[in-house]
């Protein structure tokens, strides 16, 4: 069973090979690893909105109301 890969648009672009590699030289090896895993069927590609993506919580600025709701979901 493939592992779910829930992420933002950048990761989806890497998996679907629609991103130009020269823009992502810092993640060159990870780029190829992710793309290879997706091609072999080890990743189930899913897109998730930023408000639902728990990884995005630490990279975005939310209103107090949204922060409280997200904190409840994390616990």
- Per-residue pLDDT at 66: 83
- Number of structural domains (the chain) is 1
Closest CA to 72 of 54, 59, 55, 56: 54
- Per-residue pLDDT at 6: 62
Burial of 1 (0-12, 13-18, 19+ CB in 10 A): exposed
In contact, 52 and 60? CB cutoff 8 Å: no
- Per-residue pLDDT at 23: 57
The pTM is what? 0.36
Domain that holds residue 10: 3-74
Cβ-based neighbours of 8, under 8 Å, separated by 6 or more? 50, 53, 56
In this predicted model, what pLDDT tens digit does every residue of 13-59 receive, in sequence order? Answer: 766 777 666 655 556 666 677 778 888 888 777 777 766 777 777 77
């Amino acid at each position: 069973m493939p592992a779910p890969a829930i992420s933002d648009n950048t990761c989806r672009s890497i998996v679907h090979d629609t991103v130009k590699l020269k823009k992502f030289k810092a993640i060159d090896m990870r780029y190829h690893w992710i793309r290879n895993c997706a091609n072999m069927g080890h990743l189930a590609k899913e897109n998730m909105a930023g408000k639902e993506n728990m990884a995005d919580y630490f990279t975005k600025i939310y209103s107090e109301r949204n922060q409280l709701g997200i904190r409840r979901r994390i616990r």
